[in-house]
Amino acid sequence: MDSERLEELDEELFENEEFVEEVVIDPTYTDSLDELEDEIEEEKNRRFVKGSRIFWAVLAFINALLICGSVYMNFFMWNPKERDLCKDNIFCGNDLSISSDTLNSIVSSMENELGISIDEEFRDEYALLSAIMDNDCLTDSEKDIFYSFIDIIKDNPYIDREEAYSSLRNVEVSRKCRPYMYDKSIQGVYSHELENIGIFEDDKDNLILIHEGIHCIFCNEKTKNLPKYFKEGMTELLVNEYFDSKPFAELQNYPFEVVAVRMLCEITSPDVVLKAYSCGDMSIIAEEMNKITRNEDDTNTALEAFCKYMMKYEGDLEEDTSYQDLANICIPVFRGIISAKYDEKHPNRISYYYNEILLANIMEEDAYDKYVDDLVEFGTDHKAYFSSKLKQKLATEKIEDKISEESTKKLTK
């Protein structure tokens, strides 16, 4: 069949009405399509609006958190800022660097402020405390607490008065929330760099302020590298002897650190320990021990093991070693010194072994509870190491310091 014939047949088919059908679209159908398209578009818009609202709500929530965090960080949490510190100082090292006329003027002002008469022998100490009088960052009640440090200062011939004056002249107290990165047991802190004391808990007895105030006097560039147990134990022992109603037993903050310091006082002497604390130099203790051991290596190894023993208790020792292994290094050296210095009935020897028994409770699972049990069973060792007033009181009267389970407080740091 040729192509011309095919074309003719096609024309005939299209011309034939039987094969021609008119296509008619129902108008309601087109309306439905339009409505469907509108609904799809509306749904898209709704989803877009909903997504936008969620996005902005999340963004607003994040901004609110950031604002709240900023307010908390800057106004409620302890977060001291750098500020200009007073550089004036009437001391150079441990000596006054002012004229006698200036000293007379300072003492006269102190007498008028405190309503007392200052003896000649205490003029330097009160000149040091004049820094508190001139400190505009402290409230009157806080100044009254700091004025009471005069006994600690006058009993200590080794304190760096220039550093102490600077700190007392500039320190401020912030009673704010504990920073989130701090352990909940921490009640307060002192920053020497920023000269700020942070108080995180109710301090109705002012014992937290007193503890941190003693840090303020003694913590400086020279003393910052002292072992933690030594700094905290000495500080808390001073709090007990000069301010606490129960001066012979640490029941709240640093019981084992206090016990460790007492052991060092018996191995050497309170004067040697006070000098090491004030000067930031543990070698002062080592040198005194060497007089008995005659072996620097043994002495240094014993002190290092003793420090690790306390670090293990405080959770700061990375080395995998046991309490017993550390005790086996330091305790025989300590006992050897005690045996060489004192006979069996000497009070210092008895005091050493009493404190060694208390310290051994660190090895127990419920260390603090065992410590309290020993205090209740054996009583306390009535001995003053640093406070001249407490020593005088012990010499003239019997001090009741009974310990009961009910009177003890849960250990905090």
pLDDT in tens, 187-244: 999 999 999 999 999 998 899 999 999 999 999 999 999 999 999 999 999 999 999 8
Distance (Å) of CA 365 to CA 186, 332, 368: 21, 24, 9
Under a CB-based contact definition with an 8 Å cutoff, are residues 154 and 125 in contact? Answer: yes
In a domain, 33, yes or no: no
From the number of C-beta atoms within 10 Å of its C-beta (0-12, 13-18, 19+), residue 48 rates as exposed
In this prediction, residue 41 carries a pLDDT of 74
Mean pLDDT over 124-129 rounds to: 92
Tokens encoding 280:
């930031």
In this prediction, residue 181 carries a pLDDT of 87
In a domain, 68, yes or no: no
Which residues contact residue 141 at a Cβ distance below 8 angstroms, ignoring those fewer than 6 apart?
A: none
Which of 44-53, 73-82, 144-153 shows the highest mean pLDDT? 144-153
Under a CB-based contact definition with an 8 Å cutoff, are residues 237 and 322 in contact? Answer: no
**Mean pLDDT rounded to a whole number for the chain:** 88
Q: What is the CA radius of gyration of the chain?
A: 38
In a domain, 198, yes or no: no
Which H or E run includes 91? strand 91-92
Distance (Å) of CA 361 to CA 100, 324, 331, 357, 404: 54, 12, 14, 7, 18
- Domain of residue 343, residue span: 226-413
In a domain, 254, yes or no: yes
In this prediction, residue 149 carries a pLDDT of 95
The DSSP letter of residue 18 is G
In a domain, 91, yes or no: no
pTM, whole model, 2 decimals?
Answer: 0.82
Tokens encoding 69:
């965090």
Report the share of the chain in percent with pLDDT over 70.
86
Under a CB-based contact definition with an 8 Å cutoff, are residues 160 and 94 in contact? Answer: yes
State the residue for tokens 């509870």. 369
In a domain, 79, yes or no: no
Q: Which of 132, 111, 130 is nearest to 213 (CA)?
A: 132
In a domain, 213, yes or no: no
pLDDT at 331 over 70: yes
Residue 334's CB is within 10 A of a number of other CB atoms, namely 20
In a domain, 239, yes or no: yes
Structural domain tally of the chain?
Answer: 1
pLDDT band at 3 (very low <50, low <70, confident <90, very high): low
